[in-house]
């Protein structure tokens, strides 16, 4: 750090805002447009190399064994590039393109070897993504591996007709990962990559899976499975993830569980969790928004806001009601939000009064 940075760190220490030794200076990796061109060059080089291999070594793709071994070899080379050339934008993007091609070859081999057994193929790809997530030391690739592994699990659950439970299970995993971000600080980058990957898949898939579940249950019950109650249990599981997240932040902030503010917040969370039974994705979007706000992560909070707006818009346009009824619903929702805002301000004022000396 420069002298100015050192003085600033000392001032922050004197004010009690930071602790510990001064952090190391951040490495200057050059201008962003130069790095962008290096990354594009890496993709171009990888695509040309893969195109040459695909044209000259077609027998590799035709053989399931050779395709699988070639894919694993490509992923291994990508791991070595990340390990030894991880600071180079060119080699990082080259390794990413190489790894994606390797995963594609493995997928082709699995389709040939497992005779198009979708569930087994999906679980195998999920296991591969787990291994890549742990073994390839690159943030972008880990986000991809977490997301791709989640999609593979979704495909397996779709094949088993258990897709109603996927959003809730992914939401519980996502909530646990983000809650550990500041507890396991030495694994912060790893946890953030997994959290972003799960969040990016979870938010758009929740309303679509719910719609698909209801469509199967009410218009194709024979193909849907033995019991229509799976849809409600899956929605309840998503609501439980929102309640768990709310309880976690109340505990972290030291708010007593039996205080009026805590009981009111939990009651509101329970109400929104109940609304998730009718508005798919509502609880998940609110959970992501709450995690982003509570963890001080603006990107995650922005994802939650975008998912909330998108989920409400999806529900509005798929709601089978007249425009007059929809307008009445919107007016009632707006009034409820205003009343909730007034109640929240009232509770916040009471909590502040209880903390003042001479009260409570």
Rg (CA), the chain: 25
E strands along the chain, which residues? none
Taking alpha carbons only, the member of 198, 164, 163 closest to residue 179 is: 198
Alpha-carbon distances of 29 from 35, 91, 312, rounded to whole Å: 8, 14, 41
Cα separations in angstroms, 250 against 18, 148, 256, 261, 290: 24, 33, 8, 10, 12
Residue-wise over 309-340: b if at least 16 C-beta within 10 A, else e?
A: eebbebbeeeeeeeeeeeeeeeeeeeeeeeee
> Is residue 70 scored above 60 in pLDDT?
yes
**pLDDT over 80 at 180, yes or no:** yes
Map out the domains of the chain as residue ranges.
34-160, 162-347
**356 φ, ψ to 5°?**
-70, 150
Centroid of chain to Cα 91: 26
Residues 297/179, Cβ–Cβ less than 8 Å:
no
Q: Which helix (H) or strand (E) segment is 26 a member of?
A: none
Query: For 49-53, 175-179, 192-196, 226-230, which range has the lowest pLDDT when averaged over its residues?
Result: 226-230
3-state secondary structure of 352: helix
| pLDDT at site 227 | 55
Helix axes 32-56, 89-113, angle to 10 degrees: 30
19: left (phi over 0), alpha (psi -120 to 50) or beta: beta
pLDDT of residue 260: 76
pLDDT of residue 33: 62
Among 120, 174, 118, smallest CA distance to 143 is for: 174
Using 50, 70 and 90 to split pLDDT, how confident is the model at 113? Answer: confident
Rounded Cα distance between 300 and 144, Å, is 16
Residues 286 and 226: their CA atoms lie apart, in Å, by 31
> What is the pLDDT at residue 3?
58
Tokens 């019950």 belong to residue: 221
Give the pLDDT confidence score for residue 74 in this predicted structure.
87
Encode burial over 75-90: b for 16+ CB neighbours within 10 A, e otherwise.
beebbebbeeeeebbb
Tens-place pLDDT, residues 275-329: 777 777 788 888 999 899 888 888 888 888 888 887 777 777 777 778 788 788 7
In the DSSP assignment, the letter for residue 21 is S
């Amino acid at each position: 750090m420069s002298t100015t940075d050192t003085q600033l760190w000392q001032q922050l220490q004197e004010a009690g805002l930071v602790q510990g030794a001064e952090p190391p200076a951040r490495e200057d990796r050059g201008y962003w447009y130069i790095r962008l061109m290096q990354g594009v060059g890496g993709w171009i080089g990888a695509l040309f190399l893969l195109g040459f291999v695909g044209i000259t070594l077609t027998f590799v793709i035709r053989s399931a064994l050779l395709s699988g071994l070639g894919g694993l070899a490509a992923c291994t080379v990508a791991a070595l590039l990340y390990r030894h050339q991880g600071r180079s934008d060119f080699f990082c993007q080259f390794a990413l393109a190489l790894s994606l091609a390797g995963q594609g070859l493995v997928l082709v081999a699995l389709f040939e070897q497992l005779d198009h057994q979708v569930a087994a193929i999906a679980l195998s790809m999920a296991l591969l993504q787990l291994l890549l997530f742990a073994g390839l030391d690159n943030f972008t690739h880990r986000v991809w591996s977490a997301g791709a592994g989640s999609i593979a699990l979704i495909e397996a659950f779709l094949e088993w007709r258990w897709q109603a439970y996927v959003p809730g299970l992914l939401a519980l995993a996502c909530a646990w990962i983000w809650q550990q971000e500041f507890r396991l600080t030495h694994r912060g980058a790893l946890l953030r990559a997994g959290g972003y990957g799960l969040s990016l898949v979870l938010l758009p898939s929740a309303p679509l899976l719910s719609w698909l579940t209801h469509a199967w249950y009410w218009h194709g019950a024979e193909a849907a499975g033995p019991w229509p109650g799976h849809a409600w249990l899956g929605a309840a599981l998503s609501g439980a993830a929102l309640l768990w997240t709310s309880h976690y932040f109340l505990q972290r902030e030291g708010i007593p569980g039996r205080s009026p503010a805590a009981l009111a917040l939990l009651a509101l969370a329970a109400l929104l969790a109940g609304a998730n039974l009718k508005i798919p994705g509502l609880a998940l979007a609110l959970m992501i928004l709450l995690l982003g706000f509570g963890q001080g992560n603006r990107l995650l909070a922005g994802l939650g806001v975008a998912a909330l707006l998108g989920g409400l818009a999806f529900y509005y346009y798929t709601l089978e009601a007249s425009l007059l009824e929809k307008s009445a619903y919107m007016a009632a929702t707006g009034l409820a939000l205003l009343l909730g805002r007034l109640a929240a301000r009232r509770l916040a004022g009471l909590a502040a009064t209880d903390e003042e000396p001479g009260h409570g």
